[in-house]
Structure 1
């Protein structure tokens, strides 16, 4: 079975045989969005018909991206986590409707009733009642000092925004919990389960999970952000890539060849009949939670329904059944699009600021199969997307111009200085350091910056430019003039994983005591 999958990956036609339309779209997306690196693969009728790689693993480094280059697949890891769980269901080691507490007695949600009734399936379909990205600050920015145990303990302090099972709201923390459920049921740590149940039987030879050595593995794409001087690496990997707590939600890395083998397995189940039963293949792709159909989906794909399965988004595109997911991390973007009835799949991997490129390129390639009569291009969809975002920016009247900012003076903040504590995020210190007032999070060292004053309000200017969502600091006096601290987004369109609104800090100690610990 492994030899069969490897052979499928190797049956790539030469570049001169690749459809001109694919080459044109890939090159236009790469150029328009000034990407550092890009890898694209297409399967049609169960066969790999196209692969293309462009750019470098590190901008200016000289090593080109190829089909074996490792990329962070981010939230496309979720489908791998549910694949492992489905294998455990086939093996009789768990059921989708088992209570989570059967495997993790320490598991708690804010509402005890929800704790008792949360099933394994509920961990996977974004119906928990938590708000969008609730608690993600325990996962990102990486690296940080949170553990999986911290994440499970922190869930009890996250207040719901909706009732249980009533509303779709994307979350990541419960996939971390799902990984720990799998570990208990499968009798091995999550990363070992992924290797045992997925990588080895499917021949995904380059994929990495858990801790690994960058130099030994080699050919690892690094994330980039775009600057006026061009693409630059951010959050570069060290010699050893650690086992991050976010692994089950978004921490796996794979190459284009690996992802094509993964996609090919789903599109051609007869090639690997022993890997997963028909019943569990159906379960994974069964709609579990309704999702909203956006105006863009209606206009671009003529979509009529949208739902979430187990780690996959399910919808229709121009009358074709579509199974897909995206992955987003700082400086890394991925997309997997499947058209199961056509046995067709698309994989896109990017190591730069590629959200728009992923959207536009994925749409053009999908149209090729679902609406071949349409005359569309990268430029067409890029212009539509820019117009859409222009309207969003114009309507964001609450965005304040903060360019006229000055460092806050300790005397102005006065008794608001000190150490504050949130029950799930832990401590932050807002204290004088030299002539500046600094914000430092104890368990998230990348959340460090200078407190600035802008128009009579306070915000944090982060030290690391890759931390790209600034918070307002909202102090409320308590007894003796010291009380609480809340945070909110300066830019309402900031990434939802900076879930500042879920933080509820209380003053606990003066700076002198904070600095002595």
Structure 2
């Protein structure tokens, strides 16, 4: 296995990861843990297997497990409509969602409700809305495409809609917040002392990997810590922190519970309903010649190898979109395996958890600073290939290099160039003469969301909802501004990795007959229609 670390160091350098921590469970036993690089470059502090990283969407596996505990206790039912637990849940654009959508629909992303991370969290995905406030937004989200309902017809990944499960947990358990329920009913009982949900515990932790991004000159810049308050609408699906040792322990408990549920023997495991949670519900269309099954469960993706879908949820999407990954599919001449997994990513962090129930195998990889592609995905594949001796051996390092190159040119091709067309040759340093007239609050009452236009000197900026972070606005053409930065480095510094459709950065201001600014139109998601935000009248 020592030679594997050479490949991992190659991946770390290619992707720009500051540190990598990984662990391997095989036949139910931990056979290796290793950390490379720094958790904190400024203080030259090394990472180790107890270093906590933000785990992003791996949080969804804990959310589903929390629901499973309450289902087993008879306090929840998988197929009972969410509305029975959250009476105010009633999406207005498709009444069937309110009538029939249940916990399975919520957790496997089958509601068809629009992805609204940018609308709710802003370009840096700093979610400030509470769970309760989020319900109003969710109720008003678009739910159709071309006039046809998407409910149970589309797989539409949606972080904040998943968080309705945590509201349900709070309602039926009587706990004040999901973070308390998780700690008391799962983390403490499993001994996961290094898995944290509470803001105060995370912020004071002394063994934390810091978030970084690698810039064009090869240097790393520090990013804002993505720590969410306990009442954040996205905490349950994006906001947990954990370590390699804890994630290996969680994986072992998960595999043990799943296996015991499949036998005739009763289990005293804290984890319940794992057979249901890790079952595939929403089938994903194949994109390779092997045509193996792949489906999304509840906080887990279930993939049968060989399949290109091992990378479905990873940030390594450039090689997927181009098809360059197809010659690098693992296990093409090996026995098929069911891999139950998930990836996680928030600005500055990248992680993956892969489990193989048939061999009681789990692989955990966590990184910070991975910018040019997702290092954890590549390293996870390298370790999976090595541990399970998949054949033929595939050169993942060379595929990672292709992704890194495409990643570095993506911003110019998909943001800078089309924005240049929007500007029609306009000098980006110019501003309109009446820029002060744009200043104010702009609100969409339907969603209950506000954007704030501010002016400091000659610089006009925008902030989103309760998030005070400012994003400079650049003039594209008269009365049309973009909050997308002009360089990839600034895009990285601003933690805008999930703001990738330049059209969603355009604010089209509109004027009344007397030439005053009355609002703007904003296409906050590339697949949805524009929304109107009215300028609020200030009364004295």
Q: 2:49 is matched with which residue: 49, 57, 67?
A: 67
**Match runs of 1:324-339 below 5 Å:** 324-339=341-356
Change (3 A) 1:226 1:417: same
Q: 2:507 is matched with which residue: 473, 482, 489?
A: 473
In the TM superposition, what is the alpha-carbon distance from 1:385 to its structure 2 partner? 3.1
In the TM superposition, what is the alpha-carbon distance from 1:308 to its structure 2 partner? 0.9
Partner of 1:129: 112
Change (3 A) 1:204 1:277: closer
Partner of 1:343: 360
Distance in 1 (CA, whole Å) between partners of 2:379 and 2:85 is: 42
In the TM superposition, what is the alpha-carbon distance from 1:382 to its structure 2 partner? 1.4
Change (3 A) 1:230 1:502: farther
Q: 1:50 is matched with which residue: 32, 57, 63?
A: 32
Change (3 A) 1:396 1:441: closer
Gaps of 5+ in 2: 261-265, 307-335
Change (3 A) 1:22 1:509: same
Instruction: Indicate the larger mover: 171-180 or 303-312.
Output: 303-312
In the TM superposition, what is the alpha-carbon distance from 1:368 to its structure 2 partner? 2.7
Q: Kindly indicate whether residue 184 of structure 2 is the aligned counterpart of residue 185 of structure 1.
A: no
Partner of 2:156: 169
Partner of 2:197, secondary structure, is coil
Partner of 2:522: 487
Q: Kindly indicate whether residue 443 of structure 2 is the aligned counterpart of residue 421 of structure 1.
A: yes
In the TM superposition, what is the alpha-carbon distance from 1:136 to its structure 2 partner? 4.7
Paired residues, what number? 478
Partner of 1:430: 453
In the TM superposition, what is the alpha-carbon distance from 1:266 to its structure 2 partner? 2.1
CA contact (8 A) 1:223 1:236 kept: yes
Partner of 1:57, secondary structure, is strand
Q: What is the root-mean-square deviation of aligned Cα atoms in Å? A: 3.2
In the TM superposition, what is the alpha-carbon distance from 1:60 to its structure 2 partner? 2.8
Distance in 1 (CA, whole Å) between partners of 2:66 and 2:206 is: 26
Q: Kindly indicate whether residue 322 of structure 2 is the aligned counterpart of residue 288 of structure 1.
A: no
Q: Kindly indicate whether residue 359 of structure 2 is the aligned counterpart of residue 368 of structure 1.
A: no
In the TM superposition, what is the alpha-carbon distance from 1:399 to its structure 2 partner? 2.6
Partner of 2:142: 159
Deviations 1:356-381 (A, max 9, x none): 31232222222335562322234222
Partner of 1:212, secondary structure, is helix
CA contact (8 A) 2:196 2:202 kept: no
**Match runs of 1:182-261 below 5 Å:** 182-188=169-175, 189-214=177-202, 216-227=204-215, 228=217, 230-236=219-225, 244-261=232-249
Distance in 2 (CA, whole Å) between partners of 1:58 and 1:284 is: 36
In the TM superposition, what is the alpha-carbon distance from 1:452 to its structure 2 partner? 1.5
Q: 2:71 is matched with which residue: 78, 89, 104?
A: 89
Change (3 A) 1:142 1:384: closer
Partner of 2:534: 507
Change (3 A) 1:416 1:191: closer
Distance in 2 (CA, whole Å) between partners of 1:410 and 1:306 is: 52
Change (3 A) 1:386 1:303: farther
Change (3 A) 1:395 1:216: closer
Partner of 1:265: 253
Deviations 1:196-217 (A, max 9, x none): 2211221112111123234753
Change (3 A) 1:31 1:404: farther
Q: 2:11 is matched with which residue: 19, 23, 29?
A: 29
CA contact (8 A) 2:506 2:522 kept: yes
Q: TM-score, normalised by structure 2?
A: 0.79
Partner of 2:464: 441
CA contact (8 A) 1:90 1:276 kept: no
Distance in 2 (CA, whole Å) between partners of 1:122 and 1:241 is: 26
Instruction: Indicate the larger mover: 460-469 or 188-197.
Output: 460-469
**Match runs of 1:373-412 below 5 Å:** 373-386=391-404, 396=414, 399-401=418-420, 405-411=427-433
In the TM superposition, what is the alpha-carbon distance from 1:73 to its structure 2 partner? 0.9
Distance in 2 (CA, whole Å) between partners of 1:449 and 1:266 is: 42
Partner of 1:209, secondary structure, is coil
Partner of 2:418, secondary structure, is coil
CA contact (8 A) 2:19 2:47 kept: yes
Distance in 2 (CA, whole Å) between partners of 1:389 and 1:103 is: 43
Change (3 A) 1:395 1:139: closer
Instruction: Indicate the larger mover: 253-262 or 417-426.
Output: 417-426
Q: TM-score, normalised by structure 1?
A: 0.83
Distance in 2 (CA, whole Å) between partners of 1:58 and 1:304 is: 41
In the TM superposition, what is the alpha-carbon distance from 1:414 to its structure 2 partner? 7.9
